[in-house]
Every structure is written in structure tokens, then in C-alpha cells.
Amino acid sequence: MSRNSSGITERLRQAQTGGRDALQQVIPCLYLELKKIAAYHLRRESAAWRLGTTALVHEAYLRLASADRRYENRVHFCGIASRVMRQVLVDQSRARNAAKRGAGCEIQVAELADLGRQREGLFARLDDALHELSLSDPRKTELLELRYFGGLTLEESAEYLGISVATVRRELRLAQAWLRRELAS
């Protein structure tokens, strides 16, 4: 994952000062990585998604380009891009569910291991649960997002948050247990 990190970091800093051209230069450098993150998001969802990896990356880029965000480095940018991709999918899921007028789904605890085979409503429920967790413990929420939605490794998550890998493991176990309990109820 380390591709000319100093050059990418410099361009990300230039993008913060209003240099949209700098952000446009970063995207091609990270395009394959962004597509990998998008594929990871889509792989965990049902086949009913209308977006492909390319469309998801492009939609995320549009949202990133129109927002005023600060990016510390490549890992930070990819974490934010992953969150934006997740939000695109959540928005799409909620729009479909609104059209169906409450066509929710019920989740069994045994099915949590394979979230990708669940129905579309799960993504919105998962987002609601993560929002609730963020109110009480933002770091656990961020770890879940980085690890499972962003596809970052334990080491990259630890680097991004400035904590040890052991702390990441411990916090993730607690967050996963909380999330299982929350989605089962």
C-alpha cells in the first residue's frame, strides 16, 4: 500500500489549501486502491446493488471533491474515502427501502458472520447501529469502519489512530461483540 507516500501526502496537503487540481492528481495514484476498497464494500452486500466499483469510486470522488476536508496522509485519505463510499451505499439502501415502504429484514445472530448475504435493509440498520456506537465510543466506531469497510489492516488502523496493534485488537473485539448484540435485538 505504500506508493510514493510523500508525494501523495504533499498533494493532499495542497488540496486542503484549495488546490482541487492536487486532489485530481492524487486520485489516479490511488485509483486501484480506491477500487479495492469499493469492491470490498460491494462484496459485503447483496448482488442487488446497482453500483459497480467504478461507479462507487466516482460517486465518492464527487463527494470528496465537493467537501472541505483535511487529509493528513494516504491512510487518512483512504479511510475518509471508505467512509464516503459506505455513506453512498447507505444512502442508496435507504432510498430503496423508502421506496418499498419499510421492507426491512430480520437478522439472526448466526448469520452475522457473513454480512454480504444479508438483504439490503441490513446496511441501513448497520449504519444506524454504528451511529449509536459513535455517540458512546467514537474510536470503536472508527476502528470498525477502518477495518471492515475500509479494508485497512490492523497495523494500518493502529497507525492511522496512533495506537498500538494490541489496543486495536482489544477495541475491535469489544466493538464486534457490541455490534452483534445490537443487530440481534
DSSP states along 87-100:
HHHHHHHHHHHHHH
* Sequence ranges of the domains in the chain: 5-184
Segment 10-27 mean pLDDT: 73
Task: Tell me how far apart the alpha carbons of residues 157 and 166 are, in angstroms, rounded to a whole number.
Answer: 11
Given a cut of 70, is residue 92 above it in pLDDT? yes
Quick one: pLDDT band at residue 140, thresholds 50, 70, 90?
A: very high
Q: Give the gyration radius of the chain's Cα atoms.
A: 17
Task: Tell me how far apart the alpha carbons of residues 165 and 156 are, in angstroms, rounded to a whole number.
Answer: 9
The pTM for the full model equals: 0.58
Given a cut of 80, is residue 63 above it in pLDDT? yes
pLDDT at residue 135 in the model: 92
Task: Tell me how far apart the alpha carbons of residues 132 and 126 are, in angstroms, rounded to a whole number.
Answer: 10
pLDDT at residue 164 in the model: 93
pLDDT at residue 20 in the model: 63
Given a cut of 90, is residue 6 above it in pLDDT? no
Q: Which long-range contacts (CB under 8 A, 24 or more apart) does 121-126 make?
A: 121/93, 121/97, 122/183, 123/45, 123/89, 123/90, 123/93, 124/90, 124/93, 124/94, 124/97, 125/183, 126/179, 126/183
Helix (H, G, I), strand (E, B) or coil at 117: helix
Given a cut of 60, is residue 95 above it in pLDDT? yes
